[in-house]
Structure formats: structure tokens, C-alpha cells
Structure 1
């Protein structure tokens, strides 16, 4: 297998996932309440074994799942992705006790996970976060006769699955003034005293909320990875999930392209079919070209991650940037070629038009990806 082609078995699996998304997951998604966690949908993802694949497979498989599910049911794709994003730090850095308690519930779909990094004043600038983790008592576990203890005080905002998640991967500042080097990742169950949340009225089918931490107690037993090394946990998670955000975007772009092919081939206009107009056919060709280019870059970035290549941050950023910008273009063009019908509530493209916008912002906005790409390029040039 190369980064530019899939084996027949992989292609067949993707087709199976698209069918499952359309026939089995979409009906469950339609029964859900917008802005709320659809626990029935998450549980079905668990029964299908897809949540378990988040932690037993590589980046390419994750991308194939997200792309295929997005083609037929964006809600199912997002539910799967948020379980992975929220629980990947636990899988990769958690203690045996943490993993034993939570991972089985995540993979069966009975516990909802969330990734709590963004803050009102620190969205894409993750190193600037201000949620404080204030140590209780003298430093060192032995000094207090037990595990080190902190109190979390501050806010998180724009958190997917908040305030309905069962646990949060929370990034807090344990060393003031240390930038990225002073951040620690904590696993915080939702029922911890002092932790409250409110939902935000967002353009999103899944819940997005704000979290308030009022001296929330955590101990060394809640740390994911090492104290003051939480930024590595965050960036390692994002390096994995950024290409798969691109895969989500590719799935939406392909759905819009498929709808456009069917519409322009069947719609009568100006004495023929829409596809007979060169202006239309050239636009459709451009949509297909950009979608395929984005798909190939996503697969290449995922393969680089699975092979532990040294340029993963750059490839991940490029894949997310190209794919999300491409999907915005493809969906917008599809709406234009469909006309007013595409803006009618309930139309596939009306749905995609709403869902395609956010990926250009979350997990690092497009501008952040460009900055990261440039930084990596110049660092490589200076090292030569």
C-alpha cells in the first residue's frame, strides 16, 4: 500500500461504512436533538466496533473511517471523532488505573469524552492558556503524605461535548510564566466538585459549551503523562487528528460532488442538461480535482504519522489546511450549481453548508496551520 492508493479490502470497507452511515446511523442521527449528545448514536458506533478502532488502528484507518462516515452521516462522523479526540490522551498517556476505568466505557459508547484545551483568551494559541492548577501544600508527593494535589481555577470555552461529557481531558497551567513548558494534562471526571458547564448556542449539531473550574480538586492520580509536559500531550493528539479533520472535510466534499453530478446530469436547462454547459462542467471538474488532491494529501499525512516520519507536524497541518479549505469551496460551488433548492432546510447541501465551516477553525484555524507550515519549513532549511 502506498500513500496514493488503497487496497481492494480497504476500498470495500469504506463502501461498507458509507452504507452503514446512510442506512443505519443516519436514522439514529435524525432522532437526536440538535445541540445535545446523541447517546444512542454513540452507543451504536460502539456496537459496530468503530469506537474500538480508534485505539487499535493507525491514522490512515482513522481517516478512512471519518471520510466514509462523513459521506453519509456527518453526525455519526463527529460523534466518533469527538470520542477519539477526548480519549486519545487517556489511551496514549493514561495510567493503567485510568485506562481500566474509562477506556472500556468509551469504546462501548457508554461514556462521553471531551478534549478541553481552548479558552476564551487562548483558542488557537494553546501555549497561552490560563486555567490555573494551583498546588496544595508543599511540593512533592512525600511532603503531604500522598499524591501531589492541585486546585483547578479558570475557564474553558468552545469545548465539544461540553457540558454533557462524562470526563474531560483538561489542560491547565501548573508552572506560571513557562509558556508551553508549564502545562499539565489532567483527566477530570464531570462530577468533580467545583466543575460546572453551560451550553453555547452555536452553529453545530453537537453540543459545544463552556466549563467553569472553581477550585476543582485533582491529584497526581489524575495526571495524563508528566507534570508540565501536557503541551506534548495536546500536540501529539492534534498531530494525529488534524489529518483526520481533513478526512472529514473530504467526505463532505465528496458528498457534495456526488450530489452535484446527479443534479447537473438530470436537470433540464437552456434546451439541454446543465452538464452540457461548459461553465458548469468545468466547475464540476474543478470540484473533483480539488477533492482528489485533498484526499491524497490526507492519506499521505496519515501514512507519515503511521510510519513515524519526522515531518508529521508539517504534513498534518498541510492536510488539514488543504482539505478544509477545499471542502468549503466544493460545498459552496455545489450550492451555487443547485440554486435556491440547496438552501432549503433539510436539503443535503444546506446541511453540509452549515457543517463545513467549523473545521477551518477548530483544532487550529487555517491561519495557524499556515504559520505552523512556514515554521517547519524554515526550521528544516536552517538545519540543512
Structure 2
């Protein structure tokens, strides 16, 4: 299915019409989620045999790019559900059914959220500040604080991880699992009052002995970098789908900038259209050329994931490079679109004003600019000498 078939114009325009209100009221995108659920959008990765759309990462990323042109915060939050279902699909395609239950639950309407981010944890997936305490029956209790938990008002399954410091002879072990909405031992703080991406309602989640039963513990990994397929699958889905959202923001900003330039006229030049101004034309061209580089990069990386391409040690540089290029390109394009659109874009309620705030969130998602450049440099030059 094409993105236009998955997200027809009438559905997309309804979502676009609500975006400003959600942002203004700092409200969750309840109506968007209801309509996307009814359209089967949360089952993008679910096999057709289970009632899903059976899409791969390439097609899902293009759908997210399209959704983000209408409502970036909605798309960003939906990403977190798609990350887990996408991870399950990527692992299954590589012969690993350890997350098969995720796709089966998603087919039944469960909504997944990503609860791995922690304040001050720059090791990301390779260590955790959350404590995982083993129980005799194979379950674990988790104690810690997770930030940027998108879909907070709506998730029914939350993926989390923490560290059992006593495991592996005291070297520690990272334990991954899912809690249910009706689990005890966690609290959602209503603390999401941010500059942008407001409708995502990515509240902090405090884990205070939240229990994950044994059959929902799906990985135990050593602390530090490792080659487990789960790590690749999370990075592939997380970075690619983030890149798709920010590509959509850049795409929309460029379109709005072009519309504004064609509409604006110059008093000094006797009503001549700004579309005829050489400086304005240069800025529009600069934005368009930047986006033209980004579109094929997103397609190529996601297609290679679907095709099980072997990039070896270059896989992680490709993924983090895509994410950083998308977020930074989108930020530059939004800035150029505002520059050519005039002072009206500076006013509260302007769509470009909202995109300007939304696009800034890109710098905070992992991998950040510094980490990404370190990853790429290590792949090409080797690690720094001690």
C-alpha cells in the first residue's frame, strides 16, 4: 500500500486541522489516535494474516513522513508504538520470534510505548540507571525514572529496561521487558509542558517496583555495546522512524514557504511577487536542495533494512547519520521557510511558528549530534587511542 492509501487525504486533513488546537491546549491527540486506530495505522507492521497491513520499514517510514506533514507531534508519539512493532517485525525477518507476542498484541489493539530513556544516561541502551531486581519465579521488579514516555495517556504496554547489578558475577546484566497498563508500581507524572511536540504528552514515568512477569522478560544482555540483534533492530527502527518524522516536517515547511513567497508582494517594487526576488529564490532553492538529498537517504537506509543488506560495521553510522541529517536538515529548512515567509510566521498560531518549535526537539533524541559523530568517526578511523 502507498502512503496515500494508508493515510488518505480526508484523514490527513482532519488530523492537520486539529494539530494547532492540541498544541495550544497542551492536549493529547485523542481524536487523531482514534481515527488512526480505526484506519489500521497502528498495525502497519502487523502481518496481513493477523489483520495488519504487513508493511516493512521503508513503507512505514514513508507513512510517518506523510503523517508528520500534518501533525508532527502525533507522528512522533505514534513512532514509539511503531518502534516496538517494527522491532518485532525486523527480528522475525531475521529468524528471531522473541517479540512475536508484540505483533500478536498489536493485532488485538494493544498500544505500545517506549520507556527506555533516562535522564543523564548517555550510554543509552548499553547501561541503565534503573534497578532491575530478580524475583524467584523469573519475574523482575524495576525501580527508576523514565523520561520522554510518549503516548503516556494511551499506552497499554510499556517497554522498559533496567540493570541487575549482581548478575554475571557482579558485572551486571541489562533486563528488558514490558509492563501492562494495569500493573502496580508505577506513576505517570503530568509534567509534559514543553516548547514543542506538545501533543505527544511524553510524560515522565516513575517505576517504583513495577513488576514484569517472566513471560514478558524478553532479553538479558551484558552491560556495554554488544551485537545482539535486538540492539540493531531498536536502532534501525528508532533512528529511521525519527528521521521520517523530521523529513515530513522539512517537507511541510518547504511547501509553506513556497506558498508564502508566491502570495507575498513587494511594496517597494510596485507589487511585484516575492517569487521574483533573487534573494528569496536562492533561499527557497537552498531549502529544496537540502530536502532533495534527504529523501533518497531515508529510502535507501530503510530499504536496506528490509532487504537484510549487510553493511557490517557501517550499519550504525548509516542509521545515526540518517537521523542527524534529517533533524538538522529539517531545522535548517524550517528556518529558511520562516525567513522567506515574513513576519506573520513569527506570530503565535502560525503553522510555521509551531513547526519551528517542534523541529527543535530533534536535537534531543538519541543519537545526539556528538554521539553520532563519534560513532561515524570510530567506524571510519577506529577508536581514539588511550
Question: So what's the TM-score if we normalise by structure 1?
Answer: 0.83
Mapped contact 2:6–2:41 kept (Cα < 8 A): no
SS at match of 1:169: strand
* Pairing partner for 2:139 from 149, 158, 175: 149
- Are the structure 2 counterparts of residues 243 and 89 from structure 1 closer, same or farther at C-alpha, using a change threshold of 3 Å? closer
Aligned match of 2:155: 165
Q: Which residue of 2 aligns with 1:126?
A: 125
Whether 1:237 aligns to 2:234 is: yes
Deviating above 6 A after TM superposition, structure 1's stretches of 4 or more consecutive aligned residues are: 177-181
Counterparts in 2 of 1:246 and 1:133: CA distance versus 1, 3 Å = same
Aligned in 2, Cα 1:15/1:214: closer, same or farther, shift over 3 Å? closer
Determine if the alignment matches structure 1 residue 207 to structure 2 residue 201.
yes
**Is contact 2:163-2:175 (8 Å) kept?**
yes
Q: Please say which of residues 309-318 and 246-255 is displaced more in the overlay.
A: 309-318
Aligned-pair distance for 1:290? Answer: 0.3
Q: 2-side partners of 1:36 and 1:180: how far apart?
A: 43
In structure 2, do the counterparts of structure 1 residues 70 and 326 end up closer, same or farther at CA, with 3 Å as the change threshold?
A: same
Counterpart for residue 273 of structure 2: 273
- SS at 1:121's partner residue? coil
User: Which of residues 335, 338, 350 in structure 2 aligns to 1:335?
Assistant: 338
Is the partner of 2:362 in helix, strand or coil? helix
Is 1:354 aligned with 2:354? Answer: no
Equivalent of 1:70 in 58, 68, 71: 68
In the TM superposition, what is the alpha-carbon distance from 1:259 to its structure 2 partner? Answer: 1.3
Alignment correspondent of 2:50: none
Alignment of 1:1-384 (within 5 A): 10=2, 13-14=3-4, 17=7, 19-20=9-10, 22-29=12-19, 32=22, 34-55=25-46, 56-89=54-87, 92=91, 94=98, 99-100=103-104, 102-106=105-109, 111-123=110-122, 125-137=124-136, 147-162=137-152, 164-175=154-165, 182-200=173-191, 201-203=193-195, 204-205=197-198, 206-224=200-218, 226-228=219-221, 232=228, 233-269=230-266, 270-271=268-269, 272-311=272-311, 312-378=315-381
Rounded Cα–Cα distance in structure 2 between residues aligned with 1:227 and 1:16: 36
The secondary structure found in structure 1 opposite 2:129 is coil
Q: Identify the range of structure 1 (82-91 vs 321-330) with the bigger mean alpha-carbon deviation.
A: 82-91
Task: For 2:58 and 2:273, locate their aligned partners in 1 and report how far apart those are by CA, in whole Å.
Answer: 39
Q: Are 1:175 and 1:228, in contact at CA under 8 Å, matched by a contact in 2?
A: no
Q: Could you tell me how far apart the structure 2 residues matched to 1:18 and 1:280 are?
A: 33
Contact 1:240 1:316 in 2 (8 A): no
3-state secondary structure, aligned to 2:118? coil
Question: Aligned-pair RMSD on alpha carbons?
Answer: 2.9
Call closer, same or farther: CA 1:94–1:27 in 2, change over 3 Å.
farther
1:221-260 superposed Cα distances (whole Å, 9 cap, x missing partner): 1212x32269743542221231222121121111111111
Q: CA deviation digits over 1:103-129, x for unaligned, max 9?
A: 1244xxxx4321011112215633231
Q: Helix, strand or coil for the counterpart of 2:354?
A: helix
- The farther-off stretch of 283-292 and 269-278 is 269-278
> 1: CA distance between counterparts of 2:201 and 2:274?
39
Conservation of the 8 A alpha-carbon contact between 2:36 and 2:42:
yes
Q: Distance in 2 between matches of 1:62 and 1:19?
A: 17
The structural deviation recorded for 1:98 is 5.8
CA positional deviation for 1:309: 1.9
Give the deviation of 1:378 after TM superposition.
3.5
Structure 1 residues 157 and 244, CA gap change in structure 2 (3 angstroms): closer
SS of the residue corresponding to residue 54 of structure 1 reads coil
Cα 1:98–1:66 change in 2 (3 A) is closer
C-alpha change, 1:379 and 1:47, in structure 2 (3 Å) is farther
Counterpart contact for 2:69–2:252, Cα < 8 Å: yes
Change (3 A) 1:76 1:162: closer
- Which residue does 1:143 correspond to in 2? none
> Per the alignment, in what secondary structure is the counterpart of residue 119 of structure 1?
coil
